[in-house]
Structure 1
Amino acid sequence: MSENIKAVKKYTIEQFQNTENIAGAALSHDGSSILYASDQTGVFNAFSIQIKDMLPTQLTESATNAIFPISYFPQDKRFLYESDEGGNELNHIYLREENGKVTDLTPSEQAKAEFFGWAEDERSFFYESNKRDERFMDLYEMDIDSFTSQLVFKNEEGYNIASVSPNKKYIALYKTDKPNNSDMYIYSKEYGIKHISEHVGDVDYLPVTFDQSSNHLYYLTDENHEFSYLKRMNLTTQSTETVAIEDWDIVMAKFSYNYKYLIYAINNNGKTEVKLLDTATGNYVEIENLPEGQISSVSISKNEGKLAFTLNSSNAPSNLYCYNLTTKSLTRLTDTLNPEMNPNDLVKAEVVHYSSFDDLSIPAIYYKPHLEHNEKIPALVFVHGGPGGQSTVDYNPLFQYLANHGYAILAVNNRGSSGYGKTFFKAADKKHGEVDLQDCIEGKNYLASLEYIDENRIGIIGGSYGGYMVLAAMAFQPEEFELGVDIFGVSNWERTLKSIPPWWEAMRDVLYKKIGDPYEENEYIRSISPLFHAKNISKPLIVLQGANDPRVLQEESDEIVEAVKDNNVPVEYIIFDDEGHGFTKRNNRIKGYQAIKQFLDQHM
């Protein structure tokens, strides 16, 4: 192992968290500035940056609730943003005027509102809200002269709203009735709702956008294919043709402002690739000198000359970039890594595959620490959220922090994960806590096979569904892992499935078919719920929970912690009073991540 030994500087969690987190990239109407979210102040706020001089400006000053800007107005520097209360996911849409005045445009107290998109005439925007019926998201149109809204689609059957045609005549809808099967619909005032995806067997259909003429609907489907690809349908004849097909899932597609470009994203083995298609020529446009990494939040200027986006890699946090499509020049606008940190001290993740108990190949993202001594090191199996979900080759400050202090991380994409085809995705249906847990155990065995990993010091960590997998491992396979780190994980599926947020009504039956029906299959649901088997937990456990979490209620963590305490097992519990399903505030992440490392140091 001596050839791999490298001296690296050790950084504190405060140093890692003093790296700026940014999200979003919305270009202004004149292409001069980019609107984005940053937690530079410790809480996400709205910022803008001038492309010419690269000077950032803070636009909002929240000290409590995270603010995520959505879009500038089409003709000026006013902008819209979304924010909730302490992570409760009841987002409202706010207007921030150029003089700094802020107005809540969707003030219904117990309702959720989400921006949908600008109308083609730029005199209004669409948004979704469940203010009429908490179970379903209706579509509204808000006039930007009077800021009054009208209902344009009353959603009474649990449809998902996908796109509005440029002429406002059509609304594309879809409905998922079970994993791997969904249907596509078109709504118009003229004829109501029309089903446009008649098929046999399990096929997914996801409408994404219309063409400029409103005559064609672009959609993603896995019809006769293992992965999703892009097609379009003539709405008059319902004839279809393939637009783009890749070896992996196409996950997003949209047009630029004047429909000069079609841009789509591919989930390539845990890495995001973006392609830009010139609609006039059918040729792909190369983005030259692009650094290695994952592109997200792509925005094209109204004159279609600039491309703004964020880019990160496993060992570099997200930064804002602007690409000039005319001069083919790329400019990085931000430098978010804490200047106290040397990027060479961070680790570069690699995609690995290992065989599970039945020889199924399991993909994973592996973070190998810089080895500093000829001694074996501890490791963690990380499980992502879901069900579904995926670990990707993105920058993860917790992984980098732990790797910097000598912990190897294997982020497992167990069967049931997204991104690896529809067969892989449904392979854990009604088998959760069983076959997917075995994949995690085989991940542990993969780590143990590496010469520099201490096979007796391998733990398991995960959040949300991954937190459930942690508890499942501790309860159902109590000797496999040395400890568990549960971040707002499900302990009692019976309660969680009966108390899912009301605005998830459209997905309720799908969850029941994927995990189990808590009303019709109660005995099975209890058999896979760690809370009812907590007496088996014998290894140290730490639990982190947001008090306002609407998805995994605090009771889930309260009860498992009490049950484990009854076993006289070391257990730590941290509750964040001002967080929901995820920790958005820097001070809370510092507290939580530091507690995780101290727990690992003590028990492993």
Structure 2
Amino acid sequence: MLKHFRILLLIYAITVLCACKQKAAPIPVIDFFRTPEKVSYRISPDGKYISYLKPYKDKQNLFIQSLEDGKERMATSFTDYSIRGDYFWTYNNEIVFFQDIITVDEIRMFALDVSTLKTQVIISPKKVRIAMIGRDKHEPDVVTIRMNKRDSANFDIYKLNIKTKELNPYLVNPGNITQWFPDADGKIRLVRASDGVDETILYRPNDKAPFKPIIANNFKTSVKPIAFTGVGNYFLALSNVNRDKSALVEINAEDGKEHKVIFASNNADIQDYQYSKNKHKIELVTWDAAKPQKHFLDPEIKLIYDKLSTELKGNEINIADRDSAENKFIIITYTDRNPGSYYLYEKNIGKLTKLGDINPDLKPDELCTMQPISYKASDGMTINGYLTLPLGSATTNLPLVVMPHDGPFGHNGWGYNPEVQFLANRGYAVFLVNYRGSTGFGKAFYSAGFKEVGGKIQQDITDGVNWLIQNKTANPKKIAIFGGGFGGFSALYGVSFHPDMYNCAIVQHGLINFFTYIKDAPPFLKPLVQMTYERVGNPETDANQLRAISPVFNISKIRVPLLIFQGARDDRANISELNQFVRELQKQNGNDKVKYFLKPRERTFFRSQTNRMEMYAEIEKFLDENMRVKP
């Protein structure tokens, strides 16, 4: 009997061991990259309706659900172009939404009457960019927008009546205003002026008064106004003036002097906040320190989060929207292994109701953990990042995909990333790195990346790969690099100057020439060009450096297989130059080693589900072909 039991135990142990060593079952590509089931939930100001985007014939359309009877109504049925996710409710219970008509470069702004589900085009200018600035409870039919209609290089502020379509200038840009900060009633009392290097915060007490400068900084120092406190002329802001890390502070608008620090973290910049219009109060602030962190400034909102954390254990929780009474809240949750779910929380009765999952086909238990990591760069600077290992017991000698982020002055955060999970599911370790220059780690770390786009930034990536090789996580014969934008440049840089490190590279909307990238900046980005000179390089004074690192001038160095994706309507791409770049690479290396996909109806990111499916199917095949260990 005992012998029989031991045999059974041995069989069980072998079975478990084998199961642990097995790779995770491949999840279909479409499960990672399909158009989300339901996203961009909003709640009407009166708290009677919720709205969301949902696919209809591969395009995102608006749906509305009554909270009284739970009935869902399809509000739009576009089959040509999706509705953008930045739609909003007005205070008169209408919805304003946008479509980007890519083929003619036209933004269409619509108003939807929720009671009749009738839509009307409010404005539809061509070759013009539009964005929402604010709403006013006292004028519910009127919204404040910014638009570069008068001058393509400058945004002006307009008051737009969505009923009559009357459009009136509110603030005409003198040529140097780059940001506007409305108060709770939609009035603009603070603006930021910039020449790209020096910036000034200006204030006016009311619409009739002129703006006067109150704070002057250069671009290395930042003051980001949030809202007025409702007491005197004090406003809240995120500021790193006279400190390394951005903190939540209170500033006197009359003289621009900092009145007090409300909250600061020693580890990272305060990056975001949650604001109550009713209370004129910041309820909480957030920052990234390996994983998302929160500090509560309002005891009432802390009670809500504490209750939600008990009911939604293990999830990151955020309030995405709320009604005017601040009684009904749209809640969004996520983890590193779950793209997230939406809930409705009703504060007065303490009720939590699930609204929907962003991607219900994915099972978190089949996905992989994103682990924060840090290492020392070759000059001793600490670099942070994230490492995701495929499921199974193996933690060493793994094929590795390196994913530098776009920017370069951007940030990788902890959370669900479909590309990371897709690659990990296919058996690859995935490495995200916040190289120097990345935001969120303080002013010194950010400034350390200036004019290092082809220097220490790339060395930080290389040092990270070597660290993973030295600790035996990565198989040195199976390493790929994959990035978009500046991350695409980093991928091309890596295979140009470290050809023995990488088997292959994947590039999405990649930066290939710093000269044309700076010269061809759209007119409305011209104020940022001078800042680009300081942070990246000046095409005149730094010409040798920029030429030395730009991929178009290093074609002869690129010998590994490449996979390149590009949208033909991308504002920041020089398509004729990219086409020539690809032709030269194919002439040098062969068409079979350099594969190029140019999509005529796409901008920077592929919005068509069909195009996304094709792209990631090609990525899977490309990595499978090029990441085999060669004898």
What secondary structure is seen at the aligned counterpart in 2 of 1:130?
strand
Write the distance in 2 (CA, Å) between the matches of 1:538 and 1:15: 33
Q: 2:522 aligns with which of 489, 492, 501?
A: 501
CA-CA distance at 1:89 after TM superposition: 7.6
Q: 2:345 aligns with which of 316, 323, 332?
A: 323
Q: Which residue of 1 aligns with 2:609?
A: 586
What amino acid maps onto 2:133 in structure 1? F
Write the distance in 1 (CA, Å) between the matches of 2:481 and 2:218: 41
Is 1:366 the counterpart of 2:387? The answer is yes
Q: Which residue of 1 aligns with 2:201?
A: 184
Q: 2:212 aligns with which of 168, 189, 194?
A: 194
**Alignment check: 8 A CA contact 2:342 2:355 kept:** yes
CA-CA distance at 1:581 after TM superposition: 1.0
Q: 1:67 aligns with which of 80, 83, 92?
A: 83
| Alignment RMSD | 2.9
TM-score, length basis structure 2: 0.87
Give the structure with higher Rg (CA).
Answer: 2
Write the distance in 1 (CA, Å) between the matches of 2:160 and 2:507: 42
**Cα shift readout 1:381-405 (whole Å, capped 9, x = no counterpart):** 1011112111112222222111111
Q: Which residue of 2 aligns with 1:245?
A: 264
**Alignment check: 8 A CA contact 2:369 2:388 kept:** yes
Q: Which residue of 2 aligns with 1:416?
A: 437
Write the distance in 2 (CA, Å) between the matches of 1:184 and 1:6: 58
**Cα shift readout 1:24-71 (whole Å, capped 9, x = no counterpart):** 332112213332334465333223345567665442223332312521
What amino acid maps onto 1:332 in structure 2? K
CA-CA distance at 1:437 after TM superposition: 0.9
What amino acid maps onto 1:255 in structure 2? Y
Q: Which residue of 2 aligns with 1:311?
A: 333
What amino acid maps onto 1:313 in structure 2? T
Is 1:138 the counterpart of 2:156? The answer is yes
TM-score, length basis structure 1: 0.91
**Cα shift readout 1:465-486 (whole Å, capped 9, x = no counterpart):** 1011111112222222111111
Distance change >3 Å, CA 55–CA 546, structure 1 → 2: farther
Distance change >3 Å, CA 346–CA 201, structure 1 → 2: closer
Q: How does 1:168-317 map to 2 (within 5 A)?
A: 170-177=188-195, 182-187=199-204, 189-198=207-216, 202-212=220-230, 215-236=233-254, 238-239=256-257, 240-247=259-266, 248-253=268-273, 255-259=275-279, 261-269=281-289, 271-274=291-294, 277-278=297-298, 286-290=305-309, 291=312, 292-295=314-317, 298-317=320-339
Distance change >3 Å, CA 519–CA 413, structure 1 → 2: same
Write the distance in 2 (CA, Å) between the matches of 1:278 and 1:375: 46
Write the distance in 2 (CA, Å) between the matches of 1:302 and 1:252: 21
Gaps of 5+ in 2: 1-16
Write the distance in 2 (CA, Å) between the matches of 1:104 and 1:525: 45
Q: Which residue of 2 aligns with 1:389?
A: 410
Write the distance in 2 (CA, Å) between the matches of 1:575 and 1:21: 27
Write the distance in 2 (CA, Å) between the matches of 1:145 and 1:534: 56
Distance change >3 Å, CA 265–CA 507, structure 1 → 2: farther
Distance change >3 Å, CA 297–CA 353, structure 1 → 2: same
Write the distance in 2 (CA, Å) between the matches of 1:447 and 1:53: 55
What secondary structure is seen at the aligned counterpart in 2 of 1:385?
coil
Write the distance in 1 (CA, Å) between the matches of 2:165 and 2:296: 35
Q: Which residue of 2 aligns with 1:572?
A: 595
What amino acid maps onto 1:323 in structure 2? Y
Write the distance in 2 (CA, Å) between the matches of 1:273 and 1:431: 30
**Alignment check: 8 A CA contact 2:43 2:50 kept:** yes
Write the distance in 1 (CA, Å) between the matches of 2:139 and 2:491: 48
What secondary structure is seen at the aligned counterpart in 2 of 1:110?
coil
Distance change >3 Å, CA 373–CA 342, structure 1 → 2: same
Write the distance in 2 (CA, Å) between the matches of 1:126 and 1:27: 20
Write the distance in 1 (CA, Å) between the matches of 2:372 and 2:404: 15
**Cα shift readout 1:151-175 (whole Å, capped 9, x = no counterpart):** 1111122312232234666431113
Where relative contact order (Cα < 8 A, 6+ residues apart) is larger, the structure is 1
Gaps of 5+ in 1: none
Is 1:380 the counterpart of 2:380? The answer is no
Q: How does 1:27-176 map to 2 (within 5 A)?
A: 27-39=43-55, 41-51=57-67, 56-68=72-84, 69-76=86-93, 78-86=94-102, 91-98=107-114, 99-123=116-140, 124-166=142-184, 170-176=188-194
**Alignment check: 8 A CA contact 2:110 2:122 kept:** yes
Distance change >3 Å, CA 51–CA 262, structure 1 → 2: farther
Moved more, 261-270 or 102-111: 261-270
What amino acid maps onto 2:488 in structure 1? G
Distance change >3 Å, CA 250–CA 182, structure 1 → 2: farther
Q: Which residue of 1 aligns with 2:470?
A: 449
**Cα shift readout 1:494-543 (whole Å, capped 9, x = no counterpart):** 01110112221222211221111224433332122111011100111100
Q: Which residue of 2 aligns with 1:555?
A: 576
Q: Which residue of 1 aligns with 2:618?
A: 595
What amino acid maps onto 2:49 in structure 1? S
Write the distance in 1 (CA, Å) between the matches of 2:395 and 2:281: 54
Q: 2:497 aligns with which of 459, 476, 479?
A: 476
**Cα shift readout 1:526-571 (whole Å, capped 9, x = no counterpart):** 1221110111001111001011000123235323322221322511
Moved more, 204-213 or 146-155: 204-213
**Cα shift readout 1:119-173 (whole Å, capped 9, x = no counterpart):** 2414311000000110111111113442312111111223122322346664311
Q: Which residue of 1 aligns with 2:354?
A: 332
**Alignment check: 8 A CA contact 2:49 2:67 kept:** yes
CA-CA distance at 1:14 after TM superposition: 2.0
CA-CA distance at 1:275 after TM superposition: 5.2
What secondary structure is seen at the aligned counterpart in 1 of 2:589?
coil
CA-CA distance at 1:335 after TM superposition: 2.3
CA-CA distance at 1:233 after TM superposition: 2.4
What percentage of residue pairs aligned between the two structures are identical?
23
